[in-house]
Amino acid sequence: MNKTNLKLITSLIVAVFFIASCDMDEMLTKQPPGSAAGDIITTPDGVEGILIGAYDRLTTKNNFGGVMGNDWTYGEAASDNAYKGTSFGDQLSFNSVERYEVLPSNGYMANRWSQSYRGVARANDVLVFLAAVQASDNPVSEPRATQIEAEAKFLRAWYHFKATRVFRNIPYIKTIEEMDGTLPEDVPNDTEGWEGIEADLQFAIDNLPETRPLGQPGRPSKFSAMALKAHAHLYQNEHSQAKPLLDAIIASGQFELADHFNDNLSAFGNNNKESIFEIQISVTGETTGSTRTSDRATAHQSGPVSVGWGFYQPSQLLFEAYQVTNDGLPVLDIEDRVPLANDMGIGSSEEFIPTDHPLDPRVDYTIARRGVDFHGFAIHAGRSWIREQDNGGPYMTKRYHYSAEEEAAGLFRSGGFSARNDRSYRLGLVLLWRAEIAVEENDLEYARELVNAIRERARDSEPVMGRVTTYVFDGRPVEVDWDQPAANYLIEPYPEGHEAFASQESARKAVRHELRLETAVEGHRFFDLRRWGIASEVLNDYIARDGEFRTFMRGASFNAPKDEYWPLPESQLDIQDALQQDPNY
């Protein structure tokens, strides 16, 4: 939605109607202290304002356990893509997530639960007050009222989806009227919530327009609801139900792949032609407003953009996943990948020559590493920019930090906050999901075509530029040839008849690998491994390999099914008798 409007309405209305200090049981059932009287807000404008308040929870003001937009804590740092980073003693609760040793008392669990159900409560408030307005002498126009209900139910499904990603069973909380008088605190967590999620999303699909309501890009369209519902079906391995939704998005003609891979990472490309649903990020004003508060956590602590805390560092295994053959094709089996040079333990003033191995060009839009330009600010100097290499490795994430060009355009806010939207659903993701289904249906040629569309876009995108011939960063001028790519980039589509698409097994690897490269550090990896049924295999192999790289991971293990989900927060179980702890805990 229009960022200025979002910021203004959120500041004026959410501050009045929603007070964050209420207990978790109260947020499900009680009007927050200090809220305006119902007769003030039971107007068309009041309902619109409450709806904006429900959208506000998409950008949760939480840096770690409660982050939902990009899901970097559970989706990436719990996977083989990234480390917690920073130092061992920083955010000790995070160490347990990274080592798969979480207890119900871990504060991150309460954060995630609270953020999810605060969003649910706001969505339900919209529905309650909408019903009151429609029964008044000043109702919302019928077409807009239906859209408001559809938007609220999309958001309610979204927040429940974010809960069921983390917790094995959840209560699906609707309005008291919808639940025939049952109070929210009496709803048991006896399902994964899929039935409620799918029903709410079907209502949204049936009643949202194909274009954004009110012309505001942050609101969901019919296709946004289709994408989320397809995602829900994929989590349940219901490929036949996800397929028609994905096909409808692809056939709609509403979306095209953005011209360049980086268009989906830059604030200049917000809400581009590939976008299906984006969480709008604002960096205007004196407060964080609707910023993504994890930006500060995930930025460098040292260097020319030393505004962050040094969390969320990509893994060596992710870096090595971007290597390609001399034909520009991925190395799909981890056993066949060669170790790539890294500057772990090497000081910035010591010589380090970066690898010249052929790499997929998406690597240097994803990973900040030594000897490569960091968003136009400077050539990355390596260890002197990293908070604690021994704990977090030699890399930092690059996808969430603003560039020098974005800074010059004012698309940032001091303190490390970027104006880059969270691209929750885009056509590239939909194409790769559809390729997954094609593989399972043994339509391997169609899967190859879909994967190649993604690879061809990456090939035709401008790579990171600036070939460095300076291998020591000791304060002397850095030698850079800005007319040359920063590394030995090479990427090509799979040719017809290639062995990667000769069988379901190999094609499955190819599609899953492409999904990893295209969406790395965007919050999908752990959940993908789980839905594919390979989390134990991949993550225990990762622990064994990574233990040679970082001593912190030695002795850890991933044990399914227990570690596929996290425990319900102890604090919530203490106040809500209807809830039962995951039996694995």
Determine the distance from the C-alpha atom of residue 276 to the mean position of all C-alpha atoms in its chain, rounded to a whole number: 14
Q: Is residue 23 part of a domain?
A: yes
Rg (CA), the chain: 24
Q: What total number of domains does the chain contain?
A: 2
Q: In this predicted structure, what is the pLDDT of residue 349?
A: 97
pLDDT at 285 over 80: no
pLDDT in tens, 150-162: 999 999 999 999 9
Show Cβ contacts of residue 270 under 8 Å, excluding neighbours closer than 6 positions.
217, 278, 280, 281, 419, 420, 421
Top-confidence residue, 91 or 42: 91
Show Cβ contacts of residue 421 under 8 Å, excluding neighbours closer than 6 positions.
267, 270, 271, 278, 279, 280, 281
Buried b (16+ CB within 10 A) or exposed e, 438-450: bbbeeebeebbbb
**How far apart (Å, rounded) are the C-alpha atoms in residues 486 and 477?**
17
3-state secondary structure of 405: helix
| 8 A C-beta contact, residue 342 and residue 316 | yes
Q: In this predicted structure, what is the pLDDT of residue 521?
A: 94
How far from each other are the two terminal CA atoms of the chain, in whole angstroms? 41
Q: In this predicted structure, what is the pLDDT of residue 38?
A: 54
Q: Is residue 580 part of a domain?
A: no
Describe the crossing of helices 44-56 and 142-166 by its angle, rounded to 10 degrees: 20
| 8 A C-beta contact, residue 539 and residue 148 | no
Instruction: Identify whether residues 349 and 401 lie together within a single domain.
Output: yes
pLDDT at 266 over 50: yes
Q: In this predicted structure, what is the pLDDT of residue 413?
A: 83
Q: In this predicted structure, what is the pLDDT of residue 283?
A: 75
| 8 A C-beta contact, residue 425 and residue 228 | yes
**How far apart (Å, rounded) are the C-alpha atoms in residues 453 and 456?**
5
Q: In this predicted structure, what is the pLDDT of residue 25?
A: 39
The count of other CB atoms within 10 Å of the CB of residue 337 is: 16
Nearest alpha-carbon partner for 567 in 113, 8, 156: 113
Instruction: Identify whether residues 207 and 353 lie together within a single domain.
Output: no
Mean pLDDT within 415-431: 93
pLDDT at 335 over 70: yes
**How far apart (Å, rounded) are the C-alpha atoms in residues 549 and 554?**
9
Q: Looking at this protein, which amino acid is placed at residue 382?
A: G
Q: Is residue 351 part of a domain?
A: yes
Q: In this predicted structure, what is the pLDDT of residue 40?
A: 59
The count of other CB atoms within 10 Å of the CB of residue 22 is: 17
Instruction: Identify whether residues 151 and 9 lie together within a single domain.
Output: yes
pLDDT at 290 over 70: no
Return the residue matching tokens 């291998």: 471
3-state secondary structure of 445: helix
pLDDT at 189 over 70: yes
Q: In this predicted structure, what is the pLDDT of residue 260?
A: 97
Least trusted range by pLDDT, from 25-39, 339-353, 471-485, 541-555:
25-39
Q: In this predicted structure, what is the pLDDT of residue 7?
A: 32
| Domain hosting residue 72, numbered range | 3-88+97-254+566-573
Instruction: Identify whether residues 442 and 387 lie together within a single domain.
Output: yes
DSSP of 245-307: HHHHHHHTSS----SSGGGGTSGGGTT-TTEEEEE-----SSS-TT--THHHHHS-SSSTT--
- Confidence band of 1 (pLDDT split at 50, 70, 90): very low
Q: In this predicted structure, what is the pLDDT of residue 17?
A: 40
Question: For all residues of the chain together, what is the average pLDDT?
Answer: 91
- Confidence band of 287 (pLDDT split at 50, 70, 90): very low
Instruction: Identify whether residues 491 and 375 lie together within a single domain.
Output: yes
By CB atoms closer than 10 A (0-12, 13-18, 19+), residue 135 is: exposed
Instruction: Identify whether residues 7 and 147 lie together within a single domain.
Output: yes
- Confidence band of 284 (pLDDT split at 50, 70, 90): low
DSSP of 157-215: HHHHHHHHHHBSSB-----TTTTTT--GGG----B-SHHHHHHHHHHHHHHS-SS-GGG
| 8 A C-beta contact, residue 399 and residue 265 | yes
Nearest alpha-carbon partner for 318 in 85, 583, 571, 39: 85
Q: Is residue 583 part of a domain?
A: no
Least trusted range by pLDDT, from 32-36, 39-43, 215-219, 225-229:
32-36
Instruction: Identify whether residues 231 and 368 lie together within a single domain.
Output: no
| 8 A C-beta contact, residue 138 and residue 46 | no
Cis peptide before 188 (omega within 30 of 0): no
Q: In this predicted structure, what is the pLDDT of residue 131?
A: 97
25 strand-pairing partners:
none
pLDDT in tens, 425-437: 999 999 999 999 9
Return the residue matching tokens 């619109």: 48
Q: In this predicted structure, what is the pLDDT of residue 142?
A: 97
Q: Is residue 536 part of a domain?
A: no
Q: Is residue 333 part of a domain?
A: yes
Instruction: Identify whether residues 235 and 184 lie together within a single domain.
Output: yes
3-state secondary structure of 315: coil
Q: In this predicted structure, what is the pLDDT of residue 34?
A: 33
pLDDT at 342 over 70: yes
pLDDT at 81 over 60: yes
- Confidence band of 104 (pLDDT split at 50, 70, 90): very high
Q: Is residue 274 part of a domain?
A: no
3-state secondary structure of 69: coil
Instruction: Identify whether residues 30 and 109 lie together within a single domain.
Output: yes
Q: For 228, list phi and psi in degrees, rounded to 5.
A: -65, -40
Top-confidence residue, 257 or 63: 257
Q: In this predicted structure, what is the pLDDT of residue 414?
A: 80
Instruction: Identify whether residues 360 and 491 lie together within a single domain.
Output: yes
pLDDT at 62 over 90: no
3-state secondary structure of 149: helix
Show Cβ contacts of residue 346 under 8 Å, excluding neighbours closer than 6 positions.
352, 382, 383
Instruction: Identify whether residues 15 and 147 lie together within a single domain.
Output: yes
pLDDT in tens, 449-488: 999 999 999 999 999 999 999 999 999 999 999 999 999 9
Least trusted range by pLDDT, from 56-70, 219-233, 442-456:
56-70
pLDDT at 497 over 50: yes
Q: In this predicted structure, what is the pLDDT of residue 577?
A: 96
pLDDT at 584 over 80: yes
Mean pLDDT within 246-250: 98
CA contacts within 13 A on the Cβ side of 548: 7
Q: In this predicted structure, what is the pLDDT of residue 550?
A: 84
pLDDT at 45 over 90: yes
- Residue 205's alpha-carbon distances to 66, 147, 236, 435, in angstroms, are 28, 10, 19, 23
Q: What is the DSSP letter of 348?
A: T
pLDDT at 55 over 90: yes
By CB atoms closer than 10 A (0-12, 13-18, 19+), residue 344 is: middle
What's the CATH code of the domain at 481? 1.25.40.390
Q: In this predicted structure, what is the pLDDT of residue 294?
A: 72
| 8 A C-beta contact, residue 333 and residue 295 | no
Q: Is residue 304 part of a domain?
A: yes
- Confidence band of 3 (pLDDT split at 50, 70, 90): very low
Residue 396 host element (H or E)? strand 396-397
Instruction: Identify whether residues 298 and 384 lie together within a single domain.
Output: yes
